[in-house]
Amino acid sequence: MRIDHGGLLVSDVERAVRFYVDALGLTEVPRPSTFDTPGAWLQVGEQQLHLIGETEPGRAAQMTPAYDHAEVVIGYGTHLALVVDDIDVALQRAAAAGVTPPGEVFARGDGVKRVFVTDPDGHVIELMQTGIEVTGAEPRLTAPQRG
């Protein structure tokens, strides 16, 4: 068994494609013409990300979880994780496309550095670099508390 693809409902397919291609470096691939709904397919390594265009205005916003800043910064909740070779290079590419992460890059504690960004529809995307040396001094990650 393996994961073939993930799908995200988006409000504007062209805008979403620009984000994932320009800011994150994914590659658009042909999509079969048998679909009646708008959309685009993107290649991510051996898997694909399917962007599904909404057919009812506002539907993408209704179905996308609304996270507060503290939740996005630590990836608390539903998110998609993309492994990058160099997190600094990935962030430079994102910045050149106008994307600024809401928080800083941080070590997870097991040799992974990561940072979270959001796409134009609010989907949370984790950029992660593996193979970092673990020092034991990495901060503890805790879920945000709502009062």
User: Among candidates 82, 56, 75, 77, which has minimal Cα distance to 65?
Assistant: 77
pLDDT in tens, the chain (147 residues): 999 999 999 999 999 999 999 999 999 999 999 999 999 999 999 999 999 999 999 999 999 888 888 888 887 888 999 999 999 999 999 999 999 888 889 887 788 899 999 999 999 999 999 976 655 565 555 556 666
Confidence at residue 142, expressed as pLDDT on a 0 to 100 scale = 57
User: Among candidates 75, 129, 72, 142, which has minimal Cα distance to 102?
Assistant: 72
Record the tokens describing residue 91, joined without a space.
């962030």
Q: Which residue bears the tokens 């013409």?
A: 33
Confidence at residue 145, expressed as pLDDT on a 0 to 100 scale = 61
Confidence at residue 22, expressed as pLDDT on a 0 to 100 scale = 96
Domains and CATH numbers, the chain: 5-129 (3.10.180.10)
DSSP reduced 3-state for 67: coil
Confidence at residue 19, expressed as pLDDT on a 0 to 100 scale = 97
